[in-house]
């Protein structure tokens, strides 16, 4: 009898270990690594589920991701950060949870991006540790229970449920370190935009003439110094130069516009859109500069290495001066062939 019990227990443990080994891997990273501040800019986290098992993996993903994902955010003293008001409102709303089934084949991955500020109240500077949890069977209303993250009772009326409606089931990611800085304030001689990632010095817009603004921007792009590249680029004007994006901009709230600018900046970095302005010139020559009190243009001949040949393009950058600071608001490019 004891042998049978032992064998049964062994088989059960084996099945548990096999199930754990067959589970996909959940990982997180910053969608666009940058310096983050406490003044409300999005903190986009890319969540990736990788299936390295020999079996197909299926899970439910809610249309409103707060019913599929949760973030455990803690200070370096292991104190849990309070949930955001947005999270409490979305989880507290009386509405049906819509979802779709996602299928990940062996060897494939599935990723999506969430703003950490939608989940945690990140309004204090400091260092934090972030960990994600994905609930394949969603967070479901229980009426009386509360969802426990670690030892903290944080969200009323929700509890993760397993397939059998009993034990919580979640995939847990490794931890990610987040540093939040206090917002920068504008000095008298310029407008600080960000910190130089290399030197940690404050980047300040200076009163440069239009041709020097363009030279600064192109030199920064040659060195892949993104913070400097964006310093004199008016992202709002660049977004609104496209008719479709202009309509979306007008329809959005202030928070929605923040998200549009952040996504536009990210897409520029990855050359998803406006690849001409984010391309890296091997060399450039400023041919002509013209400007009046408030508007100017700079014509630049730029060369780009394309395999065994060099491509030539002529850029005309449009600039605008506000508070004695020139910024790039638009551009036109003409292809001149190869050499």
pLDDT tens across 311-330, in order? Answer: 999 999 999 998 889 999 99
| Max Cα-Cα span within the chain | 96
Give the whole-angstrom CA distance, residue 276 versus residue 332: 9
The per-residue pLDDT for range 189-200, each reduced to its tens digit, is 444 455 555 555
With CA atoms as reference, report the closest residue to 335 among 279, 297, 251, 294.
279
With CA atoms as reference, report the closest residue to 73 among 10, 121, 26, 142.
121
Would 17 be classed as within a structural domain? no
pTM of the model: 0.50
Q: Rounded to 5 degrees, what are φ and ψ at 79?
A: -95, 125
Would 279 be classed as within a structural domain? yes
Q: Say whether both 201 and 171 belong to one domain.
A: no
CATH classification of the domain holding 215 = 3.10.450.50
CATH classification of the domain holding 152 = 2.60.40.2360
The per-residue pLDDT for range 249-292, each reduced to its tens digit, is 888 887 888 888 888 888 887 766 677 888 899 999 999 999 99
> Residue 168 sits in which domain range?
22-181
Would 7 be classed as within a structural domain? no
Q: Say whether both 137 and 199 belong to one domain.
A: no
Name residue 259's beta-bridge partners. none
Would 64 be classed as within a structural domain? yes
Q: Say whether both 198 and 222 belong to one domain.
A: yes
Q: Are 285 and 291 in contact (CB under 8 A)?
A: no
Q: What is the mean pLDDT of residues 231-260?
A: 86
| Average pLDDT over the chain, rounded to an integer | 80
Q: Say whether both 204 and 332 belong to one domain.
A: yes
Q: Say whether both 131 and 198 belong to one domain.
A: no
Give the whole-angstrom CA distance, residue 54 versus residue 140: 30
Q: What is the mean pLDDT of residues 209-213?
A: 95
**Residues 6+ positions from 151 with CB-CB distance below 8 Å:** none
Q: Say whether both 243 and 303 belong to one domain.
A: yes
Would 222 be classed as within a structural domain? yes
Confidence of residue 333 (pLDDT cuts 50, 70, 90): very high
């Amino acid at each position: 009898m004891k042998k049978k019990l032992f064998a049964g227990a062994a088989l059960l443990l084996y099945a548990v270990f096999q199930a754990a080994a067959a589970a996909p891997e959940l990982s997180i990273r910053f969608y666009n690594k940058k310096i983050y501040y406490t003044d409300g800019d999005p903190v986009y986290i890319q969540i990736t589920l990788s299936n390295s098992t020999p079996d197909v993996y299926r899970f439910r993903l809610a249309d409103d991701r707060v019913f599929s994902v949760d973030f455990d955010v803690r200070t370096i003293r292991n104190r849990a950060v309070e949930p955001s008001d947005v999270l409490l409102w979305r989880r507290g709303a009386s509405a049906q949870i819509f979802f779709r089934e996602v299928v990940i084949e062996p060897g494939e991955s599935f990723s999506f991006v969430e703003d950490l500020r939608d989940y945690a109240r990140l309004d204090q500077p400091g260092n934090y540790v972030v960990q994600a949890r994905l609930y394949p069977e969603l967070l479901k209303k229980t009426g009386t229970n509360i969802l426990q993250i670690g030892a903290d009772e944080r969200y009323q009326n929700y509890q993760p449920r397993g397939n059998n409606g009993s034990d919580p089931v979640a995939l847990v990611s490794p931890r990610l370190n987040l540093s939040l800085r206090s917002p920068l304030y504008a000095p008298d001689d310029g407008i600080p935009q960000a910190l130089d990632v290399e030197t940690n010095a404050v980047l300040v817009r200076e009163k440069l003439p239009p041709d020097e603004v363009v030279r600064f921007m192109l030199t920064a792009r040659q060195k892949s110094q993104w913070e400097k590249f964006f310093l004199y680029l008016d992202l709002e004007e660049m977004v609104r130069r496209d008719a479709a994006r202009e309509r979306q901009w007008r329809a959005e709230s202030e928070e929605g516009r923040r998200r549009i600018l952040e996504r536009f900046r990210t897409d520029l970095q990855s050359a998803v859109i406006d690849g001409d302005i984010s391309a890296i010139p091997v060399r450039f020559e400023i041919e002509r500069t013209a400007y009046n009190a408030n508007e100017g243009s700079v014509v630049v001949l730029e060369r780009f290495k394309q395999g065994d040949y060099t491509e030539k393009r002529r850029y005309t950058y449009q600039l605008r001066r506000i508070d004695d600071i020139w910024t790039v608001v638009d551009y036109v490019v003409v292809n001149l062939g190869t050499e």
